[in-house]
């Protein structure tokens, strides 16, 4: 396990309110340089495994099961401290997936995810590590601040205009009362972004002449409801739950 994962950062009531208001929270350049290097190596390793025929998405979705460094970060003290700031102490690990985007990648349409829609006290967050950052309109993340408060699992749109004329039409932020607006982000290398699972988000296409955008996402939740996003193989879960020395033993169960 690496000694230091993050540079110093602050998570006070101000940051808590910002995340709850917007649905996401960005920490630019939070990852240490050593971790950025090791993550790039780990993600390149997973990408090389993906070339094995007959296993579509297996290595990408279950990345931590195939790379020791990615696995070690699940229970890194600094990671769990960050998670506890948002979700409290009672948490479960949900998944670790790579979302690398090479030059020419088409990006991702607008979408949202779900968890415990009828139990708003149960939280689910994704923590994105953008190892080499991204620019607007080049594999860049786009969000709709406040969209998470609708807890809508069926947000889908192929473009900004389709989202604006469809799901967003006439909607106001439940807290501020302002009309919902799309925000396109641009972040430097080493940025960490936290996001509530119900937040609407999309990703712009990667320019053909751009290098690979290296990214991994870790997800955690408060236990209590089934998780449709949970990517943990049964074999891996059984191994960790029966290993008394595994730091994952108490984090890996569904409930």
Q: How many CA atoms lie within 13 A of 87 on its CB side?
A: 27
Query: Among candidates 211, 228, 223, 231, which has minimal Cα distance to 251?
Result: 223
Query: Which residue range forms the structural domain that includes residue 129?
Result: 13-241
Q: Is residue 252 assigned to a domain?
A: no
DSSP secondary structure string, 2-61? -S--B------HHHHHHHHHHSEEEETT-B-HHHHHHHHHHHHHHHHHTTSTT-TTHHHH
Bridge partner residues of 25 (DSSP) = 194
Q: What is the DSSP letter of 65?
A: G
Q: Is residue 254 assigned to a domain?
A: no
Assess contact for 193 and 99: CB atoms under 8 A: no
Provide the CATH number for the domain around residue 58.
Answer: 2.60.120.620
Q: Is residue 250 assigned to a domain?
A: no
Q: Is residue 246 assigned to a domain?
A: no
Provide the domain count of the chain.
1
Q: Is residue 249 assigned to a domain?
A: no
Residue pLDDT tens, the chain, 255 long: 668 999 999 999 999 999 999 999 999 999 999 999 999 999 999 999 987 766 768 999 999 999 999 999 999 999 999 999 999 999 999 999 999 999 999 999 999 999 999 999 999 999 999 999 999 999 999 999 999 999 999 999 999 999 999 999 999 999 999 999 999 999 999 999 999 999 999 999 999 999 999 999 999 999 999 999 999 999 999 999 999 999 999 999 999
Q: Is residue 247 assigned to a domain?
A: no
Measured in degrees and rounded to the nearest 5, phi and psi for residue 47 equal -65, -35
Report the b/e string of 167-205 with b at 16+ CB within 10 A. bbeeeebeeeeeebebeebebeebbbbbbbbbbbbbbbb
Q: Is residue 3 assigned to a domain?
A: no
Q: Is residue 188 assigned to a domain?
A: yes
């Amino acid at each position: 396990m690496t000694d230091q994962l993050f540079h110093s950062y602050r998570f006070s009531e101000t940051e808590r309110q910002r995340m709850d208001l917007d649905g996401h929270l960005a920490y630019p350049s939070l990852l240490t340089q050593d971790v950025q290097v090791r993550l790039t190596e780990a993600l390149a390793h997973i990408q090389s495994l993906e070339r094995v025929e007959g296993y579509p998405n297996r290595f990408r979705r279950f990345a931590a099961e195939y790379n020791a460094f990615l696995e070690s970060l699940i229970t890194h003290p600094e990671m769990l401290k960050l998670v506890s700031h948002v979700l409290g102490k009672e948490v479960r690990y949900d998944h670790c997936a790579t979302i690398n985007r090479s030059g020419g990648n088409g990006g991702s349409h607008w979408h949202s995810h779900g968890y415990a829609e009828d139990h708003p006290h149960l939280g689910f967050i994704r923590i994105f590590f953008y190892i080499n950052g991204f620019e607007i309109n080049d594999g860049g993340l786009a969000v709709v601040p406040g969209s998470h408060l609708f807890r809508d699992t069926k947000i889908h749109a192929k473009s900004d205009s389709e989202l604006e004329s469809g799901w967003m039409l006439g909607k106001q932020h439940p807290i501020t009362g302002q009309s919902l607006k799309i925000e396109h982000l641009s972040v430097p290398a080493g940025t960490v972004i936290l996001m509530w699972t119900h937040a609407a988000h999309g990703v712009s296409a990667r320019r053909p002449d751009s290098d690979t955008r290296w990214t991994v996402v870790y997800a955690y939740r408060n236990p209590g409801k089934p998780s449709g996003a949970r990517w943990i193989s049964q074999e891996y879960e059984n191994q960790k739950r029966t290993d008394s020395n595994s730091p994952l033993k108490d984090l890996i169960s569904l409930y």
